Amino acid sequence: MTADLAYTVRSHGTVDYEESCDLFLTGRGTDTLVVGGFPVVLSTARSDSDLLGVTALVSLPQTPRELTAVLAPATGYLARTAHGLCSAFGIARNGAFALDPSTARSFATRPALATGSLTTLTVRVTTTVTGGPPPSGPVTFSTADRVLGTVLLDEVGMATLRTAELPADVAGIIVSYEGGDDHSPCGVTVPSASQGDSGGDAAP
């Protein structure tokens, strides 16, 4: 598997990257580069065997016939089924599937995932103790039936996920904070009316 991203570290220690990477990289001008990705659903509903996973990736949410993953742009992703490895596929920098013409007949893509259209989801986790340290740790965005992605809170307790455009029938976005050394887990559900540049607040 070969990643498709390009970044540099300036002499003063901050990171920079090409504009074509803006959809999945954050941290330009800071000392921290955060690599995100695009939510992908792999389904073998029409296949003759169950889906076992994707090479080099572990602990992905899945059922025997469907797997959900957030994948960074790369080529050479290989899905494993009970009968062996499928043809390789890739994810382009705009979120579209990148398929070799010789293997394209093995795949079918949903238009919403192939277009690279994005929705931005932002949440801020705040502390209920005045003057206490801001929360830190991972926040997971999901719907009722799939995980959209997991993002680390920044230094002020905010997390932003850019994801493929959400289907119209999504009832709401579930935001779950896993907690940390000084903060308890918490969560909030953002109604579907907040799709788009969405935001929400949660307090541990």
Query: How far, in Å, are 103, 108, 115, 127, 190 from residue 111 at the CA level?
Result: 18, 10, 6, 40, 25
Of residues 105 and 204, the one with the higher pLDDT is 105
Are residue 78 and residue 146 in the same domain, yes or no? no
pLDDT digits (tens, 9 = 90+) for 93-152: 988 888 777 766 666 665 443 344 567 788 888 877 766 778 888 999 888 878 888 888
pLDDT digits (tens, 9 = 90+) for 163-174: 766 666 777 889
Are residue 174 and residue 91 in the same domain, yes or no? no
Question: Domain ends where: 115, 147, 181?
Answer: 115
Of residues 131 and 34, the one with the higher pLDDT is 34
Are residue 10 and residue 111 in the same domain, yes or no? yes
Are residue 142 and residue 130 in the same domain, yes or no? yes
Q: Could you give the CA distance from residue 72 to residue 69 in angstroms, rounded to a whole number?
A: 10
| Segments forming the whole domain that contains residue 61 | 1-115
Of residues 32 and 63, the one with the higher pLDDT is 32
Are residue 14 and residue 107 in the same domain, yes or no? yes
Are residue 92 and residue 147 in the same domain, yes or no? no
Question: Domain ends where: 115, 132, 158?
Answer: 115
Model's pTM, two decimal places? 0.53
Are residue 157 and residue 137 in the same domain, yes or no? yes
pLDDT of residue 111: 44
| pLDDT of 201 higher than 80 | no
User: Are the C-beta atoms of residues 75 and 88 closer than 8 Å to each other?
Assistant: yes
Output the average pLDDT for the chain. Answer: 78
Residue from 87, 79, 182, 196 nearest 136 by CA? 182
What does the radius of gyration of the chain's CA atoms come to, in whole angstroms? Answer: 18
For the chain, percent of residues with pLDDT exceeding 70: 77
- Residues 171-200 have a mean pLDDT of 75
Are residue 28 and residue 91 in the same domain, yes or no? yes
Question: Domain ends where: 87, 115, 143?
Answer: 115
Range of 40-49, 56-65, 86-95, 126-135 with top mean pLDDT: 86-95
Count of structural domains within the chain: 2
Are residue 78 and residue 155 in the same domain, yes or no? no
Are residue 86 and residue 141 in the same domain, yes or no? no
Read off the DSSP letter of residue 88.
P
Residue from 87, 90, 79 nearest 44 by CA? 79
Query: What's the CATH number where 126 sits?
Result: 2.60.40.10
Are residue 50 and residue 105 in the same domain, yes or no? yes
Are residue 111 and residue 138 in the same domain, yes or no? no
pLDDT of residue 192: 65
